[in-house]
Amino acid sequence: MHVEVVMPKMGESIQEGKILRWLKKPGDKIAKDETILEISTDKVDSEIPSPSSGVLVKIIVPEGETVEVGTVIAVVDTDERAQAASPAAPELKLAHGAPQAPEPVATQDVRGPRMPSEGGRFFSPLVRTIAHKEGIAHRELESITGSGANGRLRKTDLLEYLKTRASAPAPGGAAPATVDMAEMLKKYPAPRYEVRVMDNVQKKMAEHMVKSVQTSPHVGAISECDLSRIVAYRVNAASAFEKSQGFKLTYTPFFFDATVRALKEFPLINSSVEADKVIVKKFINLGMAVASPTGLIVPVIKNAEEKSFLGLARAINDIALRTRNKKLMPDEIMGGTFSITNYGVFGNIIGTPIISQPQVAILGIGAITKRPVVVTDEQGNDSIAIRSMCYLTLSFDHRLIDGALGGQFLEAIVKNLEEFDFEGLS
């Protein structure tokens, strides 16, 4: 039996995906749930498993192509005879002896269902929908250069065109959606230069960061925090924790736990701005910046306010592993209400992070370093001691959060960390 592999729907807002790499070739045996390709969406790169065991008999959509959700991209033959005949050359024979007609497979355009325009070009329903929403007539749509196969107009082409539409020449003379690589290589010749093409995730991250700076007037506040008690606790509890839980105890859950408690105390930080309205969330979805093979990704720990310290630690470990192994679903990097980035893992002590829209603040964690500080005892006597210190930075949206609120929130996190209650953690 032939089983169709389709471009999966990776989230409610995901309408299409780009095939980055096929990990199997025609004729290869594959097991059910074995990874056969990598795809990229507007949100994240993901590994896609095979829906059935069998032999990959046909790859319909090649690497580099972007197609809509539901499009057939490959065919798997689950017949035992096909598996017995494998491995074979790319022109796979399903059985020895007399040739047999292959089982019919429902055909579908490799670029998904498309609709004709008045001029004869075909456009996908998604492109049509965007064009209708933006008031682009058929004639203007015909004039836009497409970067897909055979000049097909992709969603990204249309979105790029819309950015410059107001200043672009009249329909019929629209500029290409992307910079010509040949021209780039002339401008930056090898071997003195290397020209790289940004992938989907990098492009979307760049757009998101530019939009954030344009949307929110960023203000920063910095506080220092004495983590000596937490450092000592971690040293003493690390071995027993790893033995009982199966993963290492890091400092991250301490920061997350302290932040959740501070957000409960200052709920306005856990909100967003829509025109002249403030939307205060009654739940806490913490975004956690993670360095992945394809760049920085911010997966989200949903309903963090409902989790204990141990629950946060488990969620952090799980989501970090799946981010680095490309096992995230796009929905898992959406819906954040507040984000945390730990640039301290690279040795940086202070940073100025950019807010992730539509959130109104982001916490930056610097490296934990030992240094001499002045400490005051209960009698008011000062002395110099060696402490494990850390700088915490809060970038916040000054449209909503003033310096007083931002400063009080940051100091609440510091207090929660310095006075951390370890009872019940071990």
pLDDT digits (tens, 9 = 90+) for 302-330: 999 999 999 999 999 999 999 888 888 87
The reply to whether 138 belongs to the active site is no
Q: Read off the pTM.
A: 0.68
Describe the crossing of helices 155-163 and 125-133 by its angle, rounded to 10 degrees. 20
Looking up residue 65, the CATH number of its domain turns out to be 2.40.50.100
The reply to whether 398 belongs to the active site is yes
Same domain, 156 and 265: no
Counting runs of H as helices and runs of E as strands, what totals does the chain give? 10, 21
Give the active site residue among 33, 109, 132, 398: 398
Note the pLDDT of residue 324.
86
Both structure tokens of 339:
């984000």
Both structure tokens of 366:
């610097």
* pLDDT band at 73; cut points 50, 70, 90: very high
Once rounded to an integer, what is the mean pLDDT over residues 363-369? 98
Same domain, 241 and 148: no
Same domain, 239 and 342: yes
pLDDT digits (tens, 9 = 90+) for 257-289: 999 999 999 999 999 999 999 999 999 999 999
Looking up residue 155, the CATH number of its domain turns out to be 4.10.320.10
Same domain, 277 and 345: yes
- Is 379 among the domain residues? yes
Same domain, 182 and 208: no
Same domain, 282 and 391: yes
Measured CA distances, 320 to 46, 164, 289, 332 (Å):
14, 38, 9, 12
Measured CA distances, 372 to 234, 241, 383, 398 (Å):
21, 30, 10, 34
Measured CA distances, 106 to 4, 22, 68, 174, 418 (Å):
9, 22, 17, 38, 64
Distance CA 339, CA 289 (A): 8
- Domain ranges, residue 52: 2-85
Q: Which of 21-25, 76-80, 232-236 has the highest mean pLDDT?
A: 232-236
Give the active site residue among 109, 132, 208, 402: 402
Instruction: Say if residues 76 and 48 touch (Cβ distance below 8 Å).
Output: no
Mean pLDDT of the chain: 84
pLDDT digits (tens, 9 = 90+) for 324-348: 888 888 788 889 999 999 999 999 9
Q: How many domains does the chain have?
A: 3
* pLDDT greater than 80 at residue 349: yes
Both structure tokens of 81:
């005879």
Pick the last residue of a domain from 127, 156, 187: 187
Both structure tokens of 329:
């679903």
* pLDDT greater than 70 at residue 301: yes
With 0-12 CB in 10 A as exposed, 13-18 as middle and 19+ as buried, what is 339?
Answer: buried
Percent residues over pLDDT 90 in the chain: 54
